[in-house]
Amino acid sequence: MIPVIGLAVGVIAGLIFQPTLPTGLQPYLPIAIVAALDAVIGALRALGERRFNDRVFVVSFISNVIIAAFMVYVGDQLGVGSQLSTGVVVVLGIRIFANAAAIRRRIFHA
Amino acid sequence: MSDPRTPEDEAKGLLEQIADTALDDDYYVVRTEPYGQSREFNTVLTGAVLGLFALLVAIAAIQTQSDRPTSERERETLINNVDARKTSLAKREITAERLRERVAELKASVDVIDPAFEKLRVLTADSGAKGPGIRLDINEGRILPNVIADRDLQRLVNGLWYAGAEAVAVNGKRIGSLSSIRMAAGIMKVNYDPVGPPYEIIALGDAESLEERFSQTVVGREWEARSKRDEVSFDMAGSDELMVEAAPKERLTILHAKAIEGDE
């Protein structure tokens, strides 16, 4: 119940306060969301496999977001920002698909 | 199961490996410390992190949403600009049209209303004129060539003025106040334009009195006599509808003479 409330609170807070991200941080938001999505899908899979651990989830979520943002930052500094972002998105995308496939297999046995 | 990786993993392709280890290894670690075993999903920590995730997504969505109206606003502003300019252009065109009409009106009123000015223009050969008058057809006789000199034409025109002509033209060349008739190198020139026999002289005025009075002048009698001697051919005919053109512009331009102010 608490996670659902957390989700709802996050969405509502976003809608009510409509926080605007500083322009400097804007390039990192999409990649951070992809990284966070990876952590969330991984958590769902672990939940299905009865391996879920909230501390692992929190740590993986935060480290994913920070590392993804950091890689984009480093890429920007090196002048290969878009290429590095692509790499990050590819890796995270594969992970998201693999985890989603595992969840699907567990639910539908197919 | 503390380390799920096997030596076979190392041999796999990078992408395959990523797919195989999609789930963080930590989930597989069996923990021994008291809190380590917490596999509870329904915790505040999970809720907080999910809330953060939702917030991130919401921010991104809102930002994308708010970026769109900005470009849309720009578009709308541009469209409004274009419309405003079109409207102002149409307005100006209407104004221009009105002004053109006004100019035409004023021009027409200037032309129409001032008869005194029109009379003056006819008088100074600035405009063409029509009306009753007489027409003289003069040609050299068959006996001698070049018997008509500039002096003959000058005296003839002078005789016509005396007889009451109001506008005179020689071979279509209107005689104005700056006109000249003279012979240069055997060529007759009126208003500096060459003309040659046969000469057709038109004089506007009362046809009957013109004819009569001209016949009585010395010049008129002289021409009659010359025509009788077959030296020249000379015909005079009255008409109700004759026309003379305006004198050329360069014969109407004055540069130095100025009107005396207050002179009626």
In sequence order, the β-bridge partners of residue B234 are B138
Rounded Cα–Cα distance for residues B56 and B78 (Å): 33
Rounded Cα–Cα distance for residues B41 and B62 (Å): 29
For B33, what's the count of Cα atoms within 13 Å in the CB-facing half-sphere? 5
Q: Which carries the bigger pLDDT value, residue B253 or residue B92?
A: B92
Q: Compute the nearest-CA separation of B65 from chain A (Å).
A: 11
Q: Which carries the bigger pLDDT value, residue B209 or residue B40?
A: B209
Mean pLDDT score of chain B, rounded to an integer? 83
N-to-C CA span, chain B: 129
> Would you call B19 and A42 a contact, using CB atoms and an 8 Å cutoff?
no
Considering only B42-46, B155-159, B163-167, B192-196, which range has the smallest mean pLDDT? B42-46
Q: State the pLDDT at residue B1.
A: 43
Rounded Cα–Cα distance for residues B116 and B62 (Å): 82
> Would you call B24 and A58 a contact, using CB atoms and an 8 Å cutoff?
no
pLDDT one-digit tens code per residue, B95-138:
999 999 999 988 887 766 677 888 888 888 888 888 999 998 88
CB B121 within 8 A of CB B247: no
**What Cα–Cα distance (Å) separates residue A36 from each residue in A30, B44, B69?**
10, 18, 27
ipTM of predicted assembly, 2 dp: 0.85
Q: What are the respective helix, strand and coil percentages of chain B, to the nearest 5? A: 50, 20, 30
pTM attached to this predicted model: 0.46
- Out of A1, A18, A56, the one facing B42 most closely (by C-beta) is A1
pLDDT one-digit tens code per residue, B209-262:
888 998 888 888 888 888 888 788 888 888 888 989 888 888 888 888 888 887
pLDDT one-digit tens code per residue, B193-204:
888 888 899 999
Which residues in chain B are contacts of A26 at CB distance < 8 A?
A: 63
What is the band of B30 on the pLDDT scale with cuts at 50, 70, 90? Answer: low
Which residues in chain A are contacts of B46 at CB distance < 8 A?
A: 2-3, 6, 43, 54, 57-58
> Would you call A14 and B57 a contact, using CB atoms and an 8 Å cutoff?
yes
Q: List the single residue in B with minimal CA-CA distance to A35.
A: B53
Rounded Cα–Cα distance for residues B40 and A53 (Å): 7
pLDDT one-digit tens code per residue, A10-21:
889 888 888 888
Rounded Cα–Cα distance for residues A31 and A68 (Å): 6
Which residues in chain B are contacts of A58 at CB distance < 8 A?
A: 45-46, 49
Which pairs from B37-41 meet CB under 8 Å and 24+ separation? B38/A53, B38/A54, B38/A55, B39/A50, B39/A51, B39/A52, B39/A53, B40/A54, B41/A3, B41/A47, B41/A52, B41/A54
